[in-house]
Amino acid sequence: MAKFRFTVGPWNVHEGHETFGPGIRPEVPFEKKIRKFAEIGMDGVQFHDDDAVPDMNNLSEEAIVARAKEVKGLLDEHGLFAEFVAPRLWFDKRTNDGGYTASLDEDYEFAVWRSLRSVDIARALGTDKVQLWLAREGTLSAESKDPVEKIRRMRDAFNTILEYDENIKILIEPKPNEPIDRSYCGTCGHALAVAAETVDPSRVGVCIESAHSIMAGLDPANDMAFAIAWGKLWGVHLNDQNGIRYDQDKSFGAENLRSCFNQVKVLYENDFGDNGECVGLDVKTMRTQPADDQYRHIINSKKMFEKLLKKVKKFDYGFQKKCVAEQNFEKLDYYVMSLLLGDDED
Ligand code: XLS
Ligand code: MG
């Protein structure tokens, strides 16, 4: 069992702007976020392509790599590594109608161009992982696209990435909606099905996010287990979510403690991390959080993982087997809840 390594992205520290209100905290400079991530005990950093190389649309491919190499130097200075690079295919107007499933060919070409630059940036940052959160791959108006043709075209875009760099790995991060209305690749199962249809399935895995599974009405721990079963869980985004609604990215454990316990349990029982996988956090602080304490959600999420890991290590597998043999799951439920409440002696 390798030591769990924690990562977070610069977008997890933000000014607080949302659909219903402007930013309420001053912007934190990128370099300060990176330094702070090291100070609060992160091991690595997740990146969008333009987190590492702002304004990349207006740079040459050589300039993009040069800037990424400077960011690598910043990571080295703070003893951090880059976990993955994700092409941000949801800001630019050329991705308004999707990237890989865009209706216009030039928008598809733009999305592929950004994806290949993400490979270049990943290489410069020293990682072989490109993460694809398929933010706008789907429809806002159901009849606007031929779903069969678009789903196959999404697979073709994955193939272009895999053929561009023969060692790059793709982590698909499924999400059932938001900002798109109907996603073409909304769950772990969808992602693994597409992976199997690519030119090199051995280089396509998944990153399961707690909130995204909940938004799909699914159990995050079981989604992680499903991917682990096939050796395909190459990343996680731990957070929490109050029901099936917009993506809340709450601190890990803040809503569904028993579910989070089982997420930690399935990762621990299956030696997650032994092949370099990271415990990624994808959490956003509350709008109300004071600027002078705006990393607390990240610190709390790591601490909650560690507290739940202690509970996992205390879990009495002999008692569990006894309850299963008796088919007495009321007894097992009570034991687990008592364990989580810290009074499992009674
Ligand atoms: C959004 C996604 C996003 C990805 C990185 O819902 O979780 O944060 O993880 O782009
Ligand atoms: Mg995420």
What pLDDT digit, counting tens, does each position of 38-49 carry?
Answer: 999 999 999 999
Active site includes 78?
no
Beta pairing class for 138-139 and 233-238: unpaired
Identify the band that residue 346 occupies on the pLDDT scale cut at 50, 70 and 90. Answer: low
Residue 235 CA, ligand 1 centroid: distance in Å: 12
Residue-level pLDDT at 43? 98
Residue-level pLDDT at 2? 73
282 lines ligand 1 (CB under 6 A): yes
Handedness of CA 77, 80, 84, 86 (dihedral sign): negative
284 lines ligand 1 (CB under 6 A): no
Q: Can you tell me which atom of ligand 1 is nearest the CA of 88?
A: 10
pLDDT above 90 (res 1): no
195-210, pLDDT tens digit by residue?
A: 999 999 999 999 999 9
Q: Can you tell me which atom of ligand 1 is nearest the CA of 280?
A: 9
Angle at 193 between CA 8 and CA 244, to 5 degrees: 55
Residue 283 CA, ligand 2 centroid: distance in Å: 8
133 lines ligand 1 (CB under 6 A): yes
Grouping H, G, I as helix, E, B as strand and the rest as coil, residue 125 is: helix
242-298, pLDDT tens digit by residue?
A: 999 999 999 999 999 999 999 999 999 999 999 999 999 999 999 999 999 999 999
Burial of 341 (0-12, 13-18, 19+ CB in 10 A): exposed
136 lines ligand 1 (CB under 6 A): no
Ligand with smallest separation from the Cα of 84: 1
Residue 16 CA, ligand 2 centroid: distance in Å: 17
pTM higher than 0.95:
yes
51-93, pLDDT tens digit by residue?
A: 999 999 999 999 999 999 999 999 999 999 999 999 999 999 9
Residue-level pLDDT at 4? 98
Contacts (Cβ under 8 Å, ≥6 apart) of 250: 211, 239, 240, 241, 242, 283, 284
Ligand with smallest separation from the Cα of 176: 1
Ligand with smallest separation from the Cα of 91: 1
209 lines ligand 1 (CB under 6 A): yes
Q: Tell me the angle at which helices 188-196 and 220-229 cross, rounded to the nearest 10 degrees.
A: 20
Active-site choice (43, 48, 50, 212): 48
**Nearest residue (CA) to ligand 1, atom 6:** 247
Residue 278 CA, ligand 2 centroid: distance in Å: 13
Angle at 109 between CA 47 and CA 146, to 5 degrees: 105
Least confident of 16-20, 135-139, 224-228: 16-20
Interatomic CA distance for residues 40 and 296, integer angstroms: 9
Interatomic CA distance for residues 156 and 173, integer angstroms: 17
The answer to whether the CB of 297 falls within 8 A of the CB of 63 is no
120-170, pLDDT tens digit by residue?
A: 999 999 999 999 999 999 999 999 999 999 999 999 999 999 999 999 999
Residue-level pLDDT at 150? 98
47 lines ligand 1 (CB under 6 A): no
Which domains, and CATH codes, for the chain?
Answer: 6-314 (3.20.20.150), 315-346 (no CATH)
Task: Kindly state the tokens that stand for 88.
Answer: 């941000």
The answer to whether the CB of 211 falls within 8 A of the CB of 260 is no
Residue-level pLDDT at 345? 66
Residue 139 CA, ligand 2 centroid: distance in Å: 20
Interatomic CA distance for residues 25 and 296, integer angstroms: 15
Contacts (Cβ under 8 Å, ≥6 apart) of 141: none
Q: Which of these, 233, 243, 317, 241, lies nearest to 270 by C-alpha position?
A: 233
Grouping H, G, I as helix, E, B as strand and the rest as coil, residue 123 is: helix
As a whole number, mean pLDDT of residues 98-104 equals 98
**Nearest residue (CA) to ligand 1, atom 5:** 133
Active site includes 48?
yes
